[in-house]
Amino acid sequence: MLSIGPSLAQVIARLPEDEFARLLKNLGLPPGPADRSSASERITDISRIDAQLDRLNAESRQFLSDLLLSGGYLSWSAAGKRPTTREALAELDATALVYHVEDQYFGHQIALPQEFADVLWKRLLAGESQSLVAATTTPRREQVVYDASPFFQDLYQLLSYARQEPLPLTLQGNVFKRVETKMVQKFWPGADRGLERIQHLEHFAQLHSLLEYAQDQRCLLVAEDQAHQFFSRTPGERHQAWFDYGFHSLSSSNLPQLLAAFAACLAPEQWLDMEKIPVWLTEHGVVPPGAHVNLSLHATRLQDVGIWEGDRRRARLTDAAYFAANAGLAHPVRGQALVQPTGEVMVPPESPWEERWAWDAIASLVRCDRMTVYRITKEGLERALDLGRQFPDVLRLMSDMSKSPLPANVRSNLEDWHLQLTRHRILEVTLVHSQSAADSNEIESALGPSVLFRLSSTDLVIPPASGPAVIRTLNRAGIAMRNRIERPGRPRADAQAEGSWFSYASPGLRMSDGHQIVAAHLIATLPELPDYQQIEAVVTSAIHHRRAIAVRHWPPGHGAVVEQELVPYQMQSGWLQGTLVGTPRLVNIFFQSILAAKEVHSP
């Protein structure tokens, strides 16, 4: 559940070859270029981690706890301020639990990969939860939680709605409030904070590319492939995406997930005493003494996305979040739907989301509840045909997803509707329209087999996706034409630009925590930790007296420590500026990359 630190895959992929070879040796694995995945498996092996933890001394365990509480990252400066960091890191070097990473090119952090977070939290901090428990208990309403948590039900309803009515956007790129209000009325009539809920769902859907922008209509459409993939993911992956959203999108603070992590370690019936939390956070240095901790703000946001329940005095994870965090979700069961002669389809909560999404494509959603109810309608069949499904596939899909055979009258209705819907069809094809028959003939001979058939003396039909290739062919043949395909009217999602803001959640479901790891190193390669107070004093004095200083620093992307002598002349916006000794060359050194500085005494 915890979503802190970089992913292990990110770290392992960015280790230099020599350090990776050393890591393999530490793990007792044979060296080899293709061993990065087996190394990851070995590193994340729970029994290995348990054994490592058992051997660690108190300082190292405390260091790991601090790392967890600080969100999986500890900057050099913060690490340097801890009295026992050096000793702890020396011991942790062989464990492969912590790494030194270069973050966003200029930053240096000691990082704990997220794969270790849950297991370390349970070993090192779960006991702390008991000191935060409220006096009262309430049994959980849900004893068995299916993969049908309210958040995903709501998301599903939003996507189902958008499948039928694309979401129109304002000039500012927001969904029109009247549309959001309509959805709120439909999904949760009379509920509090409905608009906030719907906006979170829209945001989540866009972050995961489940909704795509159609420029020509200024609306959001369901990205069918992405949505299918999303609903086909394992419950664990989907729930982690939910937690990530709750922890990272709503707040830049680490507090929401600390709250959630404490709550996940409680017994099912227990609550956290919210009044004890600020005291604990201050005592453990998570927040500075005297700082105001606005827990209710974080709690409200988590409540909006269905992770949190309770009030100002006591709170805990919702049933769905609690069981998801503790891997307590029941396994989905396929093929459980019941189709009634009335055309109603009853889909129980144990059915996988993938199946429900498939039902949504071929039937009309009536109600998303404990039992999700659909109705087989002509409109549903039409939607299935629109999505490219063939009629026999629709019938087969319905049979495959049902416990009982399709009732004969329902089947007859489907056949009749299919007959009505497909007897006449409007095809969208790509036409090459020419001014005259002679021009059209010229193009026909230039395109050769690319022409499917001639529609009229001036119109040729070519395959829908072949427009750009046809333009290129005609250009090569010396036939000039406009370099664009005219598309009147139809809403169409734009292709996602590589690296656009939409895609930062891809390829997996985990959301970025704001850090971008550009390089990683084993702890053993970590140089001395800086004492920034001392460095600042040295630099300020040197500027004042116009003296040279020797600076040890780790330049971005360099992979090793560099020592340079320079005459500093100013510190500005986190950068130290000066000239290299003996040259007129100007240098800029990112202050946070400096490990040590000392005055250079003239011989």
Partner 1 sequence: MTRLPLVVQSDLTLLLEVDNPLFEEARDALVGFAELVKSPEHIHTYRLSNLSIWNAVASGLTPDAMLQRLKQYSQYPVPPEVETFIADQGLRYGRLVLRVAPDGDGLWLTGADPTLLTLIASHKTVVPYLGPSLAPGFRIAPEMRGLLKQALTKIGWPVADQAGFRSGAPLTLALRTMTRTGHPLSLRDYQLQAARAFWGDGQSMHGHGIVVLPCGAGKTLVGLGVMHRAQTHTLILTTSLAALHQWRDEILDKTSLTEDDIAEYSAQKKEIGPVTLTTYQLLSHRTQGRFVHFSALDAHDWGLIIYDEVHLLPAPVFRLTASLQARRRLGLTATLIREDGRADEVFALIGPKRFDMAWKQLEAQGWIASAACHEIRVKLAQVHRERYASAEDSERIRIAAENPAKFPVVEALVAEHATDHVLVIGQYLGQLEELSKRLQAPLITGKTPPKERERLYAAFREGAIRVLVVSKVANFAIDLPDANVAIQVSGSFGSRQEEAQRLGRILRPKSHGQSATFYTIVSVETREQDFSQKRQLFLCEQGYRYDVAHADADGQPLERPLPPIIPFPQVVPEGHA
Residues that bind partner 1 (CB under 8 A): 141-143, 338, 340-344, 346, 348-349, 367, 369-371, 390-391, 404, 407-409, 412-413, 415-416, 418-420, 422-423, 425, 427, 429, 447, 449-450, 452, 461-466, 468-470, 472-473
The residue among 41 and 416 lying less far from partner 1, judged by its C-beta, is: 416
Count CB-CB contacts under 10 A for residue 21.
Answer: 15
Q: What per-residue string of b and e applies to 563-590 under the rule 16 or more CB within 10 Å gives b?
A: eeebbbeebeeeebbbeeeeeeeebebb
Taking the complex as a whole, how short is the minimal distance between the CB of residue 368 and partner 1, in angstroms? 10
Taking the complex as a whole, how short is the minimal distance between the CB of residue 142 and partner 1, in angstroms? 5
- Residue whose C-alpha is closest to residue 111's, from 531, 597, 556, 518: 518
Taking the complex as a whole, how short is the minimal distance between the CB of residue 345 and partner 1, in angstroms? 10
Amino acid at 2: L
Alpha helices in 284-407 (DSSP H): 295-304, 319-325, 353-362, 378-386, 391-400
Taking the complex as a whole, how short is the minimal distance between the CB of residue 464 and partner 1, in angstroms? 6
Taking the complex as a whole, how short is the minimal distance between the CB of residue 420 and partner 1, in angstroms? 6
Taking the complex as a whole, how short is the minimal distance between the CB of residue 491 and partner 1, in angstroms? 19
First CA to last CA across the chain, in angstroms? 59
Q: Tokens 């992929």 identify what position? A: 13
Answer for the pair 320, 150: CB distance below 8 angstroms, yes or no.
Answer: yes
Taking the complex as a whole, how short is the minimal distance between the CB of residue 511 and partner 1, in angstroms? 30
The residue among 419 and 560 lying less far from partner 1, judged by its C-beta, is: 419
The residue among 417 and 502 lying less far from partner 1, judged by its C-beta, is: 417
Amino acid at 47: S
Residue 240: φ, ψ to 5°:
-65, -40
Taking the complex as a whole, how short is the minimal distance between the CB of residue 441 and partner 1, in angstroms? 17
Q: How far apart are CA 302 and CA 585, in angstroms?
A: 52
The residue among 370 and 598 lying less far from partner 1, judged by its C-beta, is: 370
The residue among 8 and 373 lying less far from partner 1, judged by its C-beta, is: 373
Taking the complex as a whole, how short is the minimal distance between the CB of residue 354 and partner 1, in angstroms? 21
The residue among 46 and 427 lying less far from partner 1, judged by its C-beta, is: 427
Q: How distant, in Å, are the alpha carbons of 1, 4, 208, 239, 477 from that of 243?
A: 7, 11, 13, 6, 56
The residue among 280 and 391 lying less far from partner 1, judged by its C-beta, is: 391
Taking the complex as a whole, how short is the minimal distance between the CB of residue 429 and partner 1, in angstroms? 6
Structure tokens at 436: 């005259």
Answer for the pair 168, 218: CB distance below 8 angstroms, yes or no.
Answer: yes
Q: How far apart are CA 555 and CA 557, in angstroms?
A: 6
28 burial type by CB count under 10 A (0-12 exposed, 13-18 middle, 19+ buried):
exposed
The residue among 467 and 555 lying less far from partner 1, judged by its C-beta, is: 467
The residue among 470 and 596 lying less far from partner 1, judged by its C-beta, is: 470
The residue among 447 and 589 lying less far from partner 1, judged by its C-beta, is: 447
Taking the complex as a whole, how short is the minimal distance between the CB of residue 472 and partner 1, in angstroms? 7
Answer for the pair 110, 98: CB distance below 8 angstroms, yes or no.
Answer: yes
Taking the complex as a whole, how short is the minimal distance between the CB of residue 163 and partner 1, in angstroms? 21
The residue among 293 and 446 lying less far from partner 1, judged by its C-beta, is: 446
- Residue whose C-alpha is closest to residue 316's, from 148, 136, 120, 124: 136
Q: Which helix (H) or strand (E) holds 25?
A: helix 17-27
The residue among 409 and 540 lying less far from partner 1, judged by its C-beta, is: 409
Count CB-CB contacts under 10 A for residue 236.
Answer: 14
- Strand 133-137: give its sheet, edge to edge: 133-137, 270-273, 314-317, 308-310
Count CB-CB contacts under 10 A for residue 213.
Answer: 17
